[in-house]
Chains A and B, each alone.
Chain A
Amino acid sequence: MRRYLLRKLLIYILTFFIAATLDWVLPRLVPGNPIQQLLAKIELQPGTYNATYKLYMHSFGFDRPWWDQYLSFWKALFHGNLGISIYDFPKPVTSVIADYVLFTLALLIPAILLAYYAGNKVGAMAARRKSLDNTVLPVGYLLTATAYPWLALLLAFLLAAGGIGHFFPISGGFAYGLLPNWDWAFVWSLMTHWFLPFLTLFLVAFGGWAIGMRNLIIYELESDYTHYLEALGAPSRLVRKYAYRNAMLPQLTGLALQLGVIVGGAIVTEVTFAYPGLGYLIFQAVGNDDYFLLQGIFLFIIVGVLAANFIVDIVYVIVDPRTRVGISGA
């Protein structure tokens, strides 16, 4: 078990290292450099361009040799210094991220967990009952085949913009004009703004889990150990219990694999609903050529995904007994 987790941890550290390096390399690979592009956007007084350019080059360290830049990049990283945001000038990138991250977490965590839970339950039920299966299967496939932006637009149109009604606000994290404080009006406003983005993420992921679980259970019910149990007259209660438990394992691996897809979906969804999370922020960063912010959010998302992966690994070890006896399970 320790070996299994250590191995995973090693891969995660390596992932972080590679991601951070990418983060550092990419802006330096682009034709022209970010400072030039940045200055092209700012209206400068004639004649001051060169001086400003030099100043920026120096303060960002672009005039030093590459290995020196790379080292100071890591040094800054360890000090939690991700640079200064241009979009929200002159706030440090870390504190800009801090303003937005809670919204993303409030969106992602319930969407992931609830979709996973409900999808698995419904999928398992579909594997048992043919009548339910006939609806779950096509609906599930349609949901997974749906592009996030479309579902987001559709829900916004139908439930917020008046296609069916104006049940929910169409954009933002809370009502304009409310000040963040924990009274009922504010919490209610948070909830109503949260619901449609949540629903979008939930529905797409739900479809995937339901199909996955259904297929896995059917596969387990065709497996040798199931046939043996049945040949020994085990009631279907026991057979299904085993099948469900064993199908949970690949689903759990799937959860780790799907995290990236869901995070991608969250970005698009937040943008559609102008929901003030990291996805919306990264979109603003790209639009405003705010490279520091872009780099910072990228690293932050990577760290978040790695942490989530590690949690899934720990759960896996708890659920799959085989990893605990020294034989890795998956």
Chain B
Amino acid sequence: MTVLGTDEATADRGAPVAGAGAGAPKRRRFEFLYFALRNKKLIIGLSVVLLFVLFAIFGPLFVQHPLTAYGPPRHTPSGTYYFGTDYFGLDVFTQFVYGLRESLFVGLIGGCGATVIGMTLGFISGYKGGLIDEGLNVLCNVELTIPGLVLLILIAGFLHHTSPLIEGLLIACTTWTWSMRAIRAQTFSLVSRDFVGLARLSGEKSRSIIVREIAPNMSSYLFLVFILLFGGSILVAASFDFLGLGPAGGMSLGIMMMNAADWSALPLHTWWWFVPPGAAITCVVGGLYLANVGLDEVFNPKLREL
């Protein structure tokens, strides 16, 4: 067969711009930035997340009252108590700042941990195939069927002392299945498509192809998976803390909501106690999801809107 262009397949998979792909890495990075800066979803999502991250970092500078300083109880939000005070007269804003820090930290640990575990297992599974794949896949399916929060409750029920780090890792141990499935499938398709074909064609060493071709392809995908897991971990941690299983003596957004529920915030209408922590979670996680959609569009030209 006479082939006029060897890249028919890639060219027809909808290369975004005619003639792109000649000077691959540099051009690709430039193109990524070009589309990233023009994607509203990505910009808005990331800005929201960044705002909260900055707030978590620099928030303590604006704190007026220490965590344990008692003021007037159930004070409505005001100039001195930005978010009001709780049942005991503690400043809700202070709790919010430190709670946000811990919730983001736990989410980050959970997201990173789950991505690393899922990536490792998914890559091994997809790359090796055969029995190893079969075994890991069964393990994944088993773990997937056991409800994560229920398993966490069981573990926490026996393990009485957790720290934010342990909490994050525990969450990672129950959520990695999502990333493994995704990465396994991705590895499969990459291995069967570009990699084998190219390796045969050019006689190149498979390892160098993994590093040069698969890794960059995967990294964008991994980042998407990480963002989703980060958001998911924050949500799981909120439920976990709300049930009183979180780190004892700590402060997190979930713990704030638990305290509010335990100390009659509902009948006493102390809404400022539980509205900010939950709203912050929705904003951060929503921002992450939005950024994920935006990034997906940036990485995947087919999804780009006009």
B281 & A267 in contact (Cβ 8 Å cutoff): no
What are the residues of chain A within 8 A of B285 when measuring CB–CB? 145-147
A141 & B286 in contact (Cβ 8 Å cutoff): yes
User: Contact size class for A?
Assistant: 35 or more
**Knowing A153-B266, A153-B278 touch, does A260 contact B290 (C-beta < 8 A)?**
no
Q: Is A317 an interface residue (CB 8 A)?
A: no
B-contact 0/1 string along A296-320, CB 8 Å cutoff: 0010011001100100000000000
Q: Is B261 an interface residue (CB 8 A)?
A: yes
**Alpha-carbon distance between A127 and B146 when the two chains are bound, in angstroms:** 33
**Knowing A12-B145, A154-B278, A163-B269 touch, does A286 contact B245 (C-beta < 8 A)?**
yes
**Knowing A29-B158, A222-B302, A267-B153 touch, does A15 contact B269 (C-beta < 8 A)?**
no
**Chain A contacts with B in 267-307, Cβ cutoff 8 A:** 267-268, 271-272, 282-283, 285-287, 289, 291, 294-295, 298, 301-302, 305-306
A-contact 0/1 string along B149-165, CB 8 Å cutoff: 11101111111100000
Closest Cβ neighbor of A10 among chain B residues: B138
A287 & B154 in contact (Cβ 8 Å cutoff): no
**Alpha-carbon distance between A261 and B245 when the two chains are bound, in angstroms:** 17
B281 & A147 in contact (Cβ 8 Å cutoff): yes
**Alpha-carbon distance between A11 and B149 when the two chains are bound, in angstroms:** 21
**Alpha-carbon distance between A154 and B151 when the two chains are bound, in angstroms:** 27
**Knowing A141-B290, A161-B266, A272-B261 touch, does A305 contact B146 (C-beta < 8 A)?**
yes
Closest Cβ neighbor of A150 among chain B residues: B278
Q: Is B57 an interface residue (CB 8 A)?
A: no
A286 & B239 in contact (Cβ 8 Å cutoff): no
B278 & A298 in contact (Cβ 8 Å cutoff): no
**Chain B contacts with A in 256-306, Cβ cutoff 8 A:** 257-258, 260-261, 265-267, 269, 271, 274-275, 277-279, 281-283, 285-286, 288-290, 302
**Knowing A150-B277, A286-B245 touch, does A306 contact B145 (C-beta < 8 A)?**
yes
Number of A-B residue pairs at CB separation under 8 A: 170
Nearest chain A CB to B175 CB, angstrom units: 10
B158 & A301 in contact (Cβ 8 Å cutoff): no
B243 & A30 in contact (Cβ 8 Å cutoff): no
A286 & B289 in contact (Cβ 8 Å cutoff): no
Q: Is B254 an interface residue (CB 8 A)?
A: yes
User: Contact size class for B?
Assistant: 35 or more
Q: Is B68 an interface residue (CB 8 A)?
A: no
A301 & B275 in contact (Cβ 8 Å cutoff): no
What are the residues of chain B within 8 A of A161 when measuring CB–CB? 266-267, 269
What are the residues of chain A within 8 A of B156 when measuring CB–CB? 286
A153 & B260 in contact (Cβ 8 Å cutoff): yes
**Alpha-carbon distance between A172 and B138 when the two chains are bound, in angstroms:** 40
**Knowing A156-B266, A259-B147, A260-B148 touch, does A15 contact B142 (C-beta < 8 A)?**
yes
B154 & A149 in contact (Cβ 8 Å cutoff): no
Q: Is B242 an interface residue (CB 8 A)?
A: yes
What are the residues of chain B within 8 A of A151 when measuring CB–CB? 278
A162 & B269 in contact (Cβ 8 Å cutoff): yes
**Knowing A19-B146, A163-B269, A305-B147 touch, does A298 contact B282 (C-beta < 8 A)?**
no
**Alpha-carbon distance between A141 and B271 when the two chains are bound, in angstroms:** 24
Q: Is A14 an interface residue (CB 8 A)?
A: yes
Q: Is B109 an interface residue (CB 8 A)?
A: no
Q: Which of A20-28, A92-100, A174-182, A184-192 contacts B (4 or more CB under 8 A)?
A: A20-28
What are the residues of chain B within 8 A of A162 when measuring CB–CB? 269
What are the residues of chain A within 8 A of B265 when measuring CB–CB? 153, 157
What are the residues of chain B within 8 A of A259 when measuring CB–CB? 147
B146 & A260 in contact (Cβ 8 Å cutoff): yes
Which of A145, A163, A263 interacts with B282 by CB under 8 Å?
A: A145
Closest Cβ neighbor of A304 among chain B residues: B147
**Knowing A148-B239, A150-B274, A286-B153 touch, does A263 contact B158 (C-beta < 8 A)?**
no
Q: Is A264 an interface residue (CB 8 A)?
A: yes
**Alpha-carbon distance between A146 and B286 when the two chains are bound, in angstroms:** 8
**Chain A contacts with B in 126-176, Cβ cutoff 8 A:** 141-142, 144-151, 153-154, 156-157, 160-163, 170
What are the residues of chain A within 8 A of B159 when measuring CB–CB? 30
Q: Is A109 an interface residue (CB 8 A)?
A: no
**Knowing A147-B282, A149-B254 touch, does A163 contact B271 (C-beta < 8 A)?**
yes
For the complex of A and B, 7 pairs with smallest distance between CB atoms? A150-B278, A264-B149, A260-B147, A145-B286, A145-B285, A147-B238, A149-B242
Can you pick out 9 interface pairs between chain A and chain B where the beta carbons lie within 8 Å of each other? A11-B142, A144-B289, A147-B238, A153-B265, A271-B243, A272-B261, A286-B245, A302-B145, A302-B146
Show the binding face of B for A, using Cβ within 8 Å: 138, 141-142, 144-151, 153-160, 231, 234-236, 238-239, 242-245, 254, 257-258, 260-261, 265-267, 269, 271, 274-275, 277-279, 281-283, 285-286, 288-290, 302
Q: A264-B239, A286-B244, A295-B154 are in contact. List 9 more A-B contacts (CB 8 A).
A: A11-B142, A12-B145, A145-B289, A148-B239, A271-B242, A282-B153, A283-B153, A286-B153, A298-B150
